[in-house]
Amino acid sequence: MNRALMLILLTLLVALATAIAPFVGALPECVQRDGLRAGATLSKIFWDLRVPRVLMAALAGAALAVSGMTFQAVFRNSLAEPFTLGVASGASLGAAVYTHLGLAFSLFWIPGMSWFAFAGAVLAILLVFGLTRVRPGFSGATLLLAGVAINFCFSSLILFLQYRSDFTQSYVILRWMMGGLSNVVRYDDVLTVLPLAVVGTLIVLYLTHELNLIATGEDLAASRGVEVNRTKIVLFFAVSLMVGAVVAACGPIGFVGLMAPHICRLLIGPDHRYLTPATLLFGAAFLVACDTLARTVMPPAELPVGILTSLLGGPFFLWLLLARSPQGEVL
């Protein structure tokens, strides 16, 4: 299919998903009972609860999908995704520390838990990058292994904090680590993530030519004039901070960054000039659809969307492993 036509279809898909999603879902009993007399309540639910949540789902899905695509190109590993580098576990550790200490504050209208989660994500980024500087060079394999090591360390610290916390604190930590959008109840939440998401995406779009060359091979990229190490560092920090902002607001929502880029490669090909906008659009529509399903599948309770994406991502990950060629490359 023509690439331009595919991008137009994906744009329409995002528009359709974001337009329909706010209207889907159960209503409170007072609205169902009072009918038209509950118009003000219904309007408040729509504009103050559902619309911000749908916008956040679209923004988070787009950011996670673009991040996954970038990591897969930089590491030249089709199984890489945003949480491989320990960003999610770092943010989760920050949220766990905030909960364990029993803190309750907000700064610039942003909840304290989000500040602690973002600080944890930044700490993970700095530790991973610092470990790669111990030895010369900026190897993608070294970065990946450093991220896995940091991920395990932070996960162990989270378990320790849960063990030391009381029942309520343990439940709050566990619930946050499931990932979800139920806490997004205002437009301020969207605006806190938007700047880093926009800047990170623009950097990736600007470096799509370099991404194509790095994904082909670092030696080829260097021979074409690409400063490989500097480009990888810029992409690493831009994308990791973008993921950190999303995780700080929504919790760790896994596998979006793994599934969306692969599906878009099947639809539009590996050229990052087209793959980047396609992945952004598909990721936005995908997470909006997943969140809509998660909050309507078991009414009146809501299933955290992180659980749903993991249920979808597990089989998808296994499919990628089974689709590997004998040489180890994903087909």
pTM of the prediction? 0.90
Q: Which helix (H) or strand (E) holds 107?
A: strand 106-107
Other beta carbons less than 10 A from residue 157's beta carbon: 17
Q: For residue 156, is it within any domain?
A: yes
Other beta carbons less than 10 A from residue 204's beta carbon: 24
Specify whether the CB–CB gap between 186 and 48 falls below 8 A.
yes
* Per-residue pLDDT, 329: 46
List C-alpha distances in Å: 41 to 30, 38, 50, 186, 301: 9, 5, 13, 16, 20
Q: For residue 37, is it within any domain?
A: no
Q: Would you say residue 66 has pLDDT above 80?
A: yes
Q: For residue 77, is it within any domain?
A: yes
Q: Partners of 320 in the beta sheet?
A: none
Cα separation, 104 vs 84, in Å, equals 30
Q: Would you say residue 70 has pLDDT above 90?
A: yes
Q: Would you say residue 138 has pLDDT above 80?
A: no
List C-alpha distances in Å: 230 to 63, 210, 235: 22, 11, 9
Q: Would you say residue 32 has pLDDT above 60?
A: no
Q: For residue 39, is it within any domain?
A: no
Assigned token pair, 112: 């304290």
Tens of pLDDT, residue by residue over 145-185, are 888 888 889 999 999 999 998 999 999 888 888 888 988 87
* Per-residue pLDDT, 327: 45
Q: Would you say residue 52 has pLDDT above 90?
A: yes
**Phi and psi dihedrals of 153, rounded to 5?**
-65, -45
User: What confidence tier does 133 reach under pLDDT thresholds 50, 70, 90?
Assistant: confident
Q: Which candidate, 213, 241, 240, 242, places its Cα nearest to that of 227? A: 213
Tens of pLDDT, residue by residue over 269-297, are 999 999 999 999 999 999 999 999 999 98
Q: Which helix (H) or strand (E) holds 53?
A: helix 51-75
Q: For residue 246, is it within any domain?
A: yes
* Per-residue pLDDT, 136: 60
User: What confidence tier does 132 reach under pLDDT thresholds 50, 70, 90?
Assistant: confident
Where in the sequence is the domain holding 99, given as residue range(s)? 3-19+49-321
Tens of pLDDT, residue by residue over 210-255, are 999 998 888 888 898 889 889 988 998 899 889 888 988 898 998 9
Q: For residue 164, is it within any domain?
A: yes
Q: Which candidate, 80, 78, 67, 21, places its Cα nearest to that of 279? A: 67
Domain count, the chain: 1
Q: Which candidate, 307, 317, 272, 269, places its Cα nearest to that of 81? A: 317
Q: For residue 41, is it within any domain?
A: no
The domain that holds 264 is classified in CATH as: 1.10.3470.10
Instruction: Tell me what percent of the residues of the chain surpass a pLDDT of 70.
Output: 91
Cα separation, 267 vs 66, in Å, equals 16
- Alpha helices, DSSP H, located in 77-227: 87-100, 112-132, 140-164, 167-177, 187-206, 208-216, 218-223
Q: For residue 28, is it within any domain?
A: no
Cα separation, 279 vs 67, in Å, equals 10
How many C-alpha atoms does 82 have within 13 Å on its Cβ side?
36
**Phi and psi dihedrals of 330, rounded to 5?**
-75, 130
